[in-house]
Amino acid sequence: MFTLGIDFGTNSVRALVVRCADGEEMGSAVFNYPSGHQGVLLDPKDHNLARQFPGDYLVGLEKSVKGALAAAAKKRGFSRDKVIGIGVDTTGSSPIPVDAKNRPLALDPKWRKNLNAQCWLWKDHTSLNESSQITELSSHLRPQYIAKCGNTYSSEWFWSKVLHCLRVAPDVFDAAYSWVELADWIPSVLGGVEKPERITRGVCCAGHKALYSDEWGGLPDKEFLGRLDPKLAALRDRLYEKAYDATTAAGKLSYAWAEKLGLQPNLPIAIGEMDVHYGAIGCGVAEGVLVKVIGTSTCDCGVVSADQMIRDIPGICGIVKGAILPGFYGIEAGQSAVGDIFKWWVEVVCGGDAGLHAELTKEAARQKPGQSGLLALDWNNGNRTVLVDPLLTGLLLGQTLYTTKAEIYRALIEATAFGARAILERIKEYEVPVQRIVCAGGIAEKNPMLMQIYADITGCTMQVSGSSQACALGSAISAAVLAGAHKNFPAAQKAMTHVLPKSYRPNSANQKVYDDLYRLYRRVHDAFGGVDRNADLSRVMKDLLVIKHAARR
Amino acid sequence: MFTLGIDFGTNSVRALVVRCADGEEMGSAVFNYPSGHQGVLLDPKDHNLARQFPGDYLVGLEKSVKGALAAAAKKRGFSRDKVIGIGVDTTGSSPIPVDAKNRPLALDPKWRKNLNAQCWLWKDHTSLNESSQITELSSHLRPQYIAKCGNTYSSEWFWSKVLHCLRVAPDVFDAAYSWVELADWIPSVLGGVEKPERITRGVCCAGHKALYSDEWGGLPDKEFLGRLDPKLAALRDRLYEKAYDATTAAGKLSYAWAEKLGLQPNLPIAIGEMDVHYGAIGCGVAEGVLVKVIGTSTCDCGVVSADQMIRDIPGICGIVKGAILPGFYGIEAGQSAVGDIFKWWVEVVCGGDAGLHAELTKEAARQKPGQSGLLALDWNNGNRTVLVDPLLTGLLLGQTLYTTKAEIYRALIEATAFGARAILERIKEYEVPVQRIVCAGGIAEKNPMLMQIYADITGCTMQVSGSSQACALGSAISAAVLAGAHKNFPAAQKAMTHVLPKSYRPNSANQKVYDDLYRLYRRVHDAFGGVDRNADLSRVMKDLLVIKHAARR
């Protein structure tokens, strides 16, 4: 038996055919979104804007699935009629304005070229003002709403984006009957759902991103929404009352799409989740196992049994029951830029390419911890966790007249690892157990230097996911559980996921140096991040020199 | 009538023939020191080390003077017998260990290859520990000694270097009969002085750099020196009792050198001064006129009439009577790296050359103040004034994923201008009048963008010296006064110096933005510099974004 996992990323969509028995990846195919810059619609006048053309999703859905099935067909033992379910994951929060027939406005020629009528991609930050307003209102009127997302509502999330659209493009807002997260919309398309009210919404996206919780009866109440804008309160009736975890099916494959894809009709379709959540499942997330997806940005996912009480964790932006694994609180944290920072340094500043990445990695690998005398903050794209502040920026200090670009490259890697440690320390402080960290993403697979630095800085053994398509794999696992191939998620994960044999253990000598550097990182982090408003930074540069000289000795 | 000015720089020596009547430059010649890297002997194992082979000075002295005379000979009205005096300036503090015959040890084959037997170049920072020890001892035992140099004795200065030599190379120290500043040694060579005791020492180098003052009877007393090392106390007897300003001649041209150079014997030789001090004279320094020599590092020189009392100015490293102009207190401040920071960015980090400097300058010129959202500290080589702390390092903040190398280039230029403003505000606070700033050095002549930024940030009109060889010109002026061609320095400066017609006036719109940025610079400066140990930096990044968005509007 096999299932299909379909992963809608930022630049492309990937479909993967997986064997339920052991997670063997039978075939996959990738389709790059043709619109905009690498699939993203940009506005040269506004760096904060990032949209996506929904038509690309439909073409990509068909092409990637057909490609994956064709690839699988070359493998012994596979046949299309043995595909028993479909799972979907996407970026998020990426809401799409749709009409009353569940069609994205942007598919209508009238709105085709309107940036506000497209899918509002997760990394769109145009709604900074709206997110502040929601945070402000919530902290006074409904503090419980944002207590589960670090007391700060983000410009990346559902209500900020919808409210911003209402303000800058009222025509688009008025034309939209409802708004649907991409993760919910794709399953609804496959299931032939033609009314937004009939979409089965996942709690994963609804969770903190739309401020949904069973504790307060679903979405934010109308009084709250009305204080933001009466039209937002009116929209609530055209959204949803209830959101579901992955034990509920999103629907069944429609005849039209079954025919298009060459699959059996009525196949169960798993609930849509965000890529990192199904990615976490594909990496084997469990109590005590933190999953870290390291890409352009980073997402950390952990789970804690829903049987026990969990306190709200300051600065941790998502604690939602069932958001990742049914029966567990999902805990989500993240760094707004990781790979993007390295890319910025190598490509934007140094004007290099993959060759320079490789060269700097090689040079940086020869350096000892602390040897450069440098310290950086990993905030070039703001700080998602634990400060939840998109208005923070990067910082580099300790440079002399001899500082090289490879030293800065390493300092930036270290900065992201310090950021990772800050998250880890925060969740451990709130009794979320972490025994192992499993990483996924290209950087984890390809950069042993970075992985060793992460191990040395966090003091945790780092493992690498056995699948380089963990998100799609997680979607396929969800489909396999739903279709009954495994009795539950832990059993499916045990059978279908694994880690690579090579793991990275902390080197105790390096750990010692990095503990010292981390203390300095925290001092600068807390000073510029607003945690410590009476910071004594007078020794930071000198302490760095002491560490530097010790490392060079 | 004509005089010769000879300027011993870091990489080369330049001789200049000047007409006394109007400062017309008749001819010049440059000789690049052949030893080491661009004339500097380095130690690959120790970035702090910078020495120079004294033999290079002798060859360079002869070649540069002969070249300048030959060039002048092509001009109408010049003849060698009309040369009436010689002036010399050099880098400093650059002490040389010499034997009892006033010969540098390094000219003896026995010591030829020994780095500690060479001239200890001004920018040698190997004696950091010794400078701290001298500061420490002085603050307890003789606070007056360091009150005139910002309460901090520098590793760049005489006693730090000599004490360090004593510790790391006692054989060299023991072999040296005395130590002579390069600025004193060159005139003594020209004058045929064969005993170190007979050298006429200038107060310019003796001043704060050797802790000399008539107030306490010359050099530091033996008790003080003995507490550092008994051998240092013993050395005091082989140094000097009295140092002189530029009204005293250093000597007369010896027959041997007169013959070698093709000049009249017995020509008066002006007292040797440090390059920046004679440079200040060549730029027209006077009460109310601050001179700024902008090169790899920057030196600011001002004067205040010796008739009035002057308070010690915290962080200002040299307040010495007669150090620049006779009859005035000389006030010296500086930034440890300016051009060197731009060079570091373009050449060391970005791997570019002069072409990239030009390209980045062009791009940076298109940016508006504040537009990049960046803020930098100009401390890649420590901070000379007003913090007097060589253990500070560089800092850059505000970077996003879009920050370009040209934006960083401009931020580094602005950082050096903020550093210049910090100096200016400090000396004005202590009632040193500044009506105009005259700049010298290649950067001032070639980079109008930088000059405008300096005007906008300091709020002062910036002028550029009419001579691109201001140091050599100042030496020639000193020789002209000594030889009687003018009745005093102000008269000689009036006749022999001028500024370029193009001056840079502050643009009031830019000034306003830079005032805001300077406040943020000071906040970060004071926090990391140890001035404010309860710094609130929580708004710095956000305030930068506010400025950035306003600039982009």
Ordered by where they begin, the domains of chain A are: 2-126+178-216+240-274 (3.30.420.40)
- Among candidates B423, B349, B424, which has minimal Cα distance to B380? B349
Closest partner residue to B541 (CB to CB) among A350, A392, A544 is A392
* Mean pLDDT for chain B overall: 95
**A531-541 pLDDT tens trace:** 999 999 999 99
Tell me how far apart the alpha carbons of residues B384 and B313 are, in angstroms, rounded to a whole number: 14
Q: Which residues of B touch A538 (CB under 8 A)?
A: 527-530, 533
pLDDT of residue B165: 98
Q: CB B398 to CB A393 under 8 A?
A: yes
Q: Does A128 touch chain B (CB under 8 A)?
A: no
Nearby residues of A484 by Cβ (< 8 Å), 6 or more positions away? A84
**B43-74 pLDDT tens trace:** 988 989 999 999 999 999 999 999 999 999 99
Tell me the residue ranges of DSSP E strands in A100-220. 119-120, 178-181, 201-202
Q: CB A542 to CB B391 under 8 A?
A: yes
The CA-atom distances, in angstroms, between A91 and each of A180, A331, A471 are: 13, 17, 10
**B492-530 pLDDT tens trace:** 999 999 999 999 999 999 999 999 999 999 999 999 999
Closest residue in chain A to residue B397, using alpha carbons only: A395
Q: CB B348 to CB A381 under 8 A?
A: no
What are the phi and psi torsion angles at A392 (to 5°)? Answer: -95, 155
CB B170 within 8 A of CB B222: no
- Other beta carbons within 10 Å of B220: 26
Closest partner residue to B47 (CB to CB) among A402, A405, A539 is A402
Q: CB B393 to CB A395 under 8 A?
A: no
Q: Does B354 touch chain A (CB under 8 A)?
A: no
Q: CB B344 to CB A397 under 8 A?
A: no
**B106-165 pLDDT tens trace:** 999 999 999 999 999 999 999 999 999 999 999 999 999 988 777 889 899 999 999 999
* Mean pLDDT for chain A overall: 95
State the alpha helices, DSSP H only, in A169-294.
170-175, 182-190, 203-206, 222-228, 230-236, 255-261, 275-282
Q: Which residues partner with A27 through β-bridges?
A: A17
Q: Does B47 touch chain A (CB under 8 A)?
A: yes
pLDDT of residue B318: 66
Q: CB B541 to CB A528 under 8 A?
A: yes
Q: Does B380 touch chain A (CB under 8 A)?
A: yes
A157, burial (CB in 10 Å: exposed 0-12, middle 13-18, buried 19+): buried
Q: Which residues of B touch A545 (CB under 8 A)?
A: 391, 393
Give the gap in angstroms from C-alpha B340 to the nearest C-alpha of chain A: 7
Q: Which residues of A touch B542 (CB under 8 A)?
A: 391
State the alpha helices, DSSP H only, in B304-390.
339-343, 354-365
DSSP string, A434-487: EEEEEEESHHHHH-HHHHHHHHHHH-S-EEEBS-TTHHHHHHHHHHHHHTTSSS
Q: CB A348 to CB B381 under 8 A?
A: no
Percent of chain A's residues with pLDDT above 70: 99
Q: How many helices (H) and strands (E) does chain B have?
A: 20, 22
Q: Which residues of A touch B398 (CB under 8 A)?
A: 393-395
Q: Does B545 touch chain A (CB under 8 A)?
A: yes
Average of per-residue pLDDT across A426-447:
91
Q: CB B344 to CB A544 under 8 A?
A: no
What are the phi and psi torsion angles at B22 (to 5°)? Answer: -140, 5
Percent of chain A's residues with pLDDT above 90: 89
Place of tokens 């720089």: B9
Q: Which residues of A touch B405 (CB under 8 A)?
A: 349-351
Give the gap in angstroms from C-alpha B342 to the nearest C-alpha of chain A: 9
Closest residue in chain B to residue A348, using alpha carbons only: B404
B-proximal residues of A, 429-488, CB under 8 Å: none
pLDDT of residue A318: 66
pLDDT of residue B306: 87
Q: CB B349 to CB A380 under 8 A?
A: no
Give the gap in angstroms from C-alpha B116 to the nearest C-alpha of chain A: 22
Q: CB A395 to CB B399 under 8 A?
A: yes
Tell me how far apart the alpha carbons of residues B190 and B184 are, in angstroms, rounded to a whole number: 10
Give the gap in angstroms from C-alpha A291 to the nearest C-alpha of chain B: 25
B305, burial (CB in 10 Å: exposed 0-12, middle 13-18, buried 19+): exposed
Q: Does A544 touch chain B (CB under 8 A)?
A: yes
Give the gap in angstroms from C-alpha B49 to the nearest C-alpha of chain A: 14
Residue of A37, A45, A380, A397 for testing the chain B interface, max B β-carbons within 10 Å: A397
Q: Which residues partner with B15 through β-bridges?
A: B6, B29
Calculate helix-pair angle for B540-552, B508-529, nearest 10 degrees.
160
Closest residue in chain B to residue A524, using alpha carbons only: B537
Give the gap in angstroms from C-alpha B286 to the nearest C-alpha of chain A: 34
Give the gap in angstroms from C-alpha A262 to the nearest C-alpha of chain B: 43
Calculate helix-pair angle for B470-482, B275-282, nearest 10 degrees.
80
What one-letter code names the amino acid at B1? M
- Among candidates B414, B344, B418, which has minimal Cα distance to B385? B418
Is the pLDDT reported for residue A308 higher than 80? no
pLDDT of residue A315: 81
Q: Does B74 touch chain A (CB under 8 A)?
A: no
Give the length of chain A: 553
- Among candidates A500, A527, A483, A277, which has minimal Cα distance to A392? A527
**A156-198 pLDDT tens trace:** 999 999 999 999 999 999 999 999 999 999 999 999 999 999 9
Is the pLDDT reported for residue A247 higher than 90? yes
Q: Residue A17: pLDDT band by 50, 70, 90 thresholds? A: very high
Average of per-residue pLDDT across A262-283:
96
Is the pLDDT reported for residue A553 higher than 90? no
Tell me how far apart the alpha carbons of residues B27 and A3 are, in angstroms, rounded to a whole number: 87
Can you tell me whether residue B171 is helix, strand or coil? helix
Tell me how far apart the alpha carbons of residues B410 and B403 are, in angstroms, rounded to a whole number: 11
Q: Say how far residue A335 (Cα) sits from the centre of its chain.
A: 9
Q: Does A81 touch chain B (CB under 8 A)?
A: no
A-proximal residues of B, 314-353, CB under 8 Å: 337, 340-341, 343-344, 348-351
- Among candidates A240, A408, A427, which has minimal Cα distance to A330? A427
ipTM above 0.90, yes or no: no
Tell me how far apart the alpha carbons of residues B527 and A535 are, in angstroms, rounded to a whole number: 8
Give the gap in angstroms from C-alpha B8 to the nearest C-alpha of chain A: 24
Is the pLDDT reported for residue B373 higher than 90? yes
Closest residue in chain A to residue B525, using alpha carbons only: A538
Give the gap in angstroms from C-alpha B544 to the nearest C-alpha of chain A: 9
Structure tokens at B304: 């205040």
Closest partner residue to B404 (CB to CB) among A349, A392, A400 is A349
**A108-154 pLDDT tens trace:** 999 999 999 999 999 999 999 999 999 999 999 999 998 877 788 98
Q: CB A380 to CB B391 under 8 A?
A: no
A295-299, A333-337, A362-366: which is most confident: A362-366
Q: Does A256 touch chain B (CB under 8 A)?
A: no
What one-letter code names the amino acid at B363? E
pLDDT of residue A348: 96
CB B498 within 8 A of CB B489: no
Closest residue in chain A to residue B342, using alpha carbons only: A401
